[in-house]
Amino acid sequence: MKSRTQLGPLQREVMQCLWNERETTVRRVNDCIRKKRPIAYTTVLTVMTRLYRQGLLSREKQGRVFLYSPLVSKGELARSILRETLRSLTQRFGIDAVAAFVQEIEDLPETKLRKLLKKLSRKQ
C-alpha cells in the first residue's frame, strides 16, 4: 500500500470532489475535475480504483456503476500525512526538525494562530 503522504495532485483533487459530494460516481468526479481542466474518464476511473485499493474510498455497486465514498475525512487525512511527515523528519533530522516545525507555527499571523487554537480546543 502506498503511503498516504504520497498522494499526488490528481489524487488530492479526486478526494476533494468526493469530500464535497460524499457519495458519487466516477462520472460525477470526472465532471467535477473537468470544470477546471480536461481529463479522461479512464484516468479518473484508474485513480479512484487505486484510492479504493489504498483504503481511502469505499465503493458499492448500484446497478451498472459503483458509488464511491471517502473513508477518511479531510482532517483525518491531513493528520495522518502530518504524523507520517513528522515521523520521517525526526528519523532523518532528529529533534531539530520538530523544533523548526514548532517555530513555523509560532511565526503564523495571530489570526491564524487563534483559529488553530480554537480548532484544537474543539478536538479535546
The CATH number for 30's domain is 1.10.10.10
* Residue ranges making up the domain that contains 22: 4-70
Rounded to two decimals, what is the model's pTM?
Answer: 0.72
What's the grid cell of residue 111?
489570526
pLDDT above 80 for 103: yes
To the nearest 10 degrees (0 to 180), the angle between helices 41-53 and 9-21 is: 80
Q: Is 104 domain-assigned?
A: no
Q: Is 95 domain-assigned?
A: no
pLDDT in tens, 19-46: 999 899 999 999 999 999 999 999 999 9
Q: Return d(Cα 81, Cα 3) in angstroms, integer.
A: 9
pLDDT above 60 for 4: no
pLDDT above 90 for 124: no
Q: How many domains does the chain have?
A: 1
